[in-house]
Amino acid sequence: MMKKKSIYICDDQLLFLESIEAFFNLQENYFCIGHAMTMEMAFAEILKLKPDVILIDYHIKDKNGLELLSMIRNAAIESKCFMLTMRRDVIIRNKAKELGGNGYLLKSIGAEEMMLAIEKTINGSERFLDSLEKERIKSGEENTIRLSNRELQIAQLVCKEFSSDAIATKLNLSLHTVSTHRKNILKKLKLKNTLDLLKTLNETYGIE
């Protein structure tokens, strides 16, 4: 008989937390070993419980789940860790992957698909389950031109009306580098101005 996998949930949205916990407790191969609505409580319990799977909400009160993920990996805890979020943000996705996360799951995919994603990483068929990318592929956007992390950072700041000088200072880059990136971003996406860029960021990357 297959050993049940223990799941720990850190999420400050009580309704979502309770519904996901109830769902997994009804499954044959999973059970919830604990939950928390704060990062501090979650980390303390995770250190003791060493769950097989950890679901981490990106927004945890005034902090974010990437901090918790980093703490877990620095403590050499080998649980499968999944970032949960409503944000379609490739920068957060990439950071979660860089920190040793096992997946970036949009809350909109639902509990059953979430369980399938977890199973795919546990059995090794997926190293990093990216529901953001799968959503785009499913909608026929797999051939969409992608910006690099640096380009995305600059594009977001442009849309927030930062000047090139301000962007250079904030990102510790030269003014020439920022200006070159700005030109390349518009050229790469075949756009004419900042308004077009803002619309594209929102539609393609889910960034406002």
Q: Could you report the per-residue pLDDT of 124-139, keeping only the tens digit for each?
A: 877 888 877 665 545 4
pLDDT, greater one: 164 or 87: 164
**What pLDDT is recorded for position 208?**
53
| Domains and their CATH numbers in the chain | 5-138 (3.40.50.2300), 149-205 (1.10.10.10)
Separation CA 84–CA 26 (nearest Å)? 20
Phi-psi region of 60 (alpha: psi -120 to 50; beta: other; left: phi over 0): beta
pLDDT attached to residue 196: 75
Q: 7 and 53 in contact (C-beta within 8 Å)?
A: yes
116 versus 206: which is more confidently predicted? 116
Q: Residues 73, 53: contact at Cβ < 8 Å?
A: no
The answer to which of 51-60, 131-140, 142-151, 158-167 has the lowest mean pLDDT is 131-140
Model confidence over 24-45: pLDDT tens digits?
A: 999 989 999 999 999 999 999 9
Q: Are 118 and 32 in contact (CB under 8 A)?
A: no
β-pair type (129-130, 103-106): parallel
